[in-house]
Structure 1
Amino acid sequence: MTDWAALYRDHVTAVTALVSGLSDDDLAREVPGAPAWTVHDVLAHLAGGAADAVTGRTDGAPGPEWTARHVAERAVLPVAVLVEELETKAEAIGHSTVDNPRPAIVWDIAVHHADLHEALGLGRLPERYWRPVLETVVLMRKPVVPEGVDDYELFRGLFSRRSRAQLRSWGLDDDAVEGLGIFGPRDDDQPVPA
């Protein structure tokens, strides 16, 4: 069984190290996996989601109004403040994942960590960060995917980070394409790191 608490803390450590050294231009870079969000916005959402999970402020979760509130409330906060907010909530979030077979907050940080890697041209997120999430989601959803589909690409596709055209290129039929992504299908091709 996955130690979700440890995985969440590992993501927090990696994400905060990644964003702490970024330039203003990099922080303003658009994140293709999260349309209309910048790198700073993704960090704001991660910090806001953690704060809300700890305080129980989950009205509208996990919908777009809820995530937009995270970004709006933290739009002018510097990275150091967002990093501190994320880091100070990590232990409590970790405790909340014990015996949770569907720790959405861990899945969320895994997906957005990969979004950041792709947006910043850093290649694939290291496997240790996404593999446990993929394995759990596959067991739960049991997607029908042709042999030969790369596991990282499946992880990205399951979380609606690949377009209809990209999913069709795997050999999926239209029904499978429409049903694969947890957040529904998308039309904009996403960067595929080497």
Structure 2
Amino acid sequence: MTDWGQLYRDNVTALTKLATDLAEEQLSTHVPATPAWTVADVYAHLAGGPADALSGRMDGAPGPEWTARHVGERARLPLTVLVEEIRAQQDAVADSVADSPSPALVWDVTVHHADLHEALALGRLPEQLWRPVLDSAGPRLVGRAGVTVRCDGSVWGDPDVEAAAEVAPYELYRAIFSRRSRRQMQAWGQPGLDVGQLDALCVFGPREDDQPQPA
């Protein structure tokens, strides 16, 4: 079973290191995966989301009004303060997700961490920081969408279905969490999936804006 608490801590450690390496001008870099947010805003969300969850302040979650509130509350805070808040609550978050089959806070930190790597052209997020999420959630979310994909030598979905897309693990992970456009997903290996199937695969709905794809 995946140690979700440790995966959360590992991402926090890496995000802390990333923060120390960022130049001031990078904090205002636009993050394509979350068009309304800058790099600093993503850190604000990664502090505010867990703080809200731990305190039970979840009205409107996970919708845009909820995220806008806690990001806005932290808009003027220095990055060092945001990172300290993230670090200070990591043990409580780890305890809260220990036995969860769908640890939303862990999924959230890995997805937004990858958003930052893509926005800042830092290359793909290290596999150990996202792969457990794909291995745990991927088959279930693919099955819920009613589609079949071939990924890393395995077939997820109905093995007898001919219309299955061939997709690399990282790209499937990003697509499942709505981080790839329809056009980018249609470029997956043939025979591929139709638009309706691709849309069903995206848990936050389809998107039309192409996203940066690490080499």
Question: Normalised by the shorter chain, which TM-score bucket?
Answer: over 0.9
RCO greater where, 1 or 2, for CA within 8 Å and sep 6 or more? 1
Point out the structure with max Rg over C-alpha: 2
**1:173 aligned onto 2:177:** no
Residue identity over aligned pairs, in percent, reads 60
Residue type of the partner of 2:200? G
Provide the TM-score with structure 2 as the length reference. Answer: 0.88
Aligned positions of 1:59-98 closer than 5 A: 59-98=59-98
Aligned to 1:33: 33
Q: CA deviation at 1:71?
A: 1.2
Aligned to 2:107: 107
CA distance in 2, matches of 1:172, 1:20: 42
Q: Does the CA-based 8 Å contact 2:179-2:211 persist in structure 1?
A: yes
2:211 pairs with one of 186, 190, 193 = 190
Q: Does the CA-based 8 Å contact 2:165-2:193 persist in structure 1?
A: no
CA distance in 1, matches of 2:103, 2:71: 22
1:144 pairs with one of 117, 142, 148 = 148
User: What does the per-residue CA deviation read over 1:67-118, in whole Å, with 9 as the maximum and x for residues that have no partner?
Assistant: 1112101101000100010000000000001110000000000000000000
Aligned to 1:164: 182
Residue type of the partner of 1:164? R
CA distance in 1, matches of 2:165, 2:78: 45
User: What does the per-residue CA deviation read over 1:7-53, in whole Å, with 9 as the maximum and x for residues that have no partner?
Assistant: 00001111111022311210000011111210000000000011112
Q: CA deviation at 1:150?
A: 0.5
Residue type of the partner of 2:47? A
Give the superposed CA RMSD: 1.0
Q: CA deviation at 1:147?
A: 5.0
What count of residue pairs does the alignment treat as equivalent?
Answer: 194
Residue type of the partner of 1:64? P
Segment drifting more, 80-89 vs 49-58: 49-58
Structure 1: gaps spanning 5 or more residues: none
**1:134 aligned onto 2:152:** no
Aligned to 1:46: 46
Residue type of the partner of 1:82? L
Q: CA deviation at 1:169?
A: 1.1
Aligned to 2:117: 117
Structure 2: gaps spanning 5 or more residues: 150-163
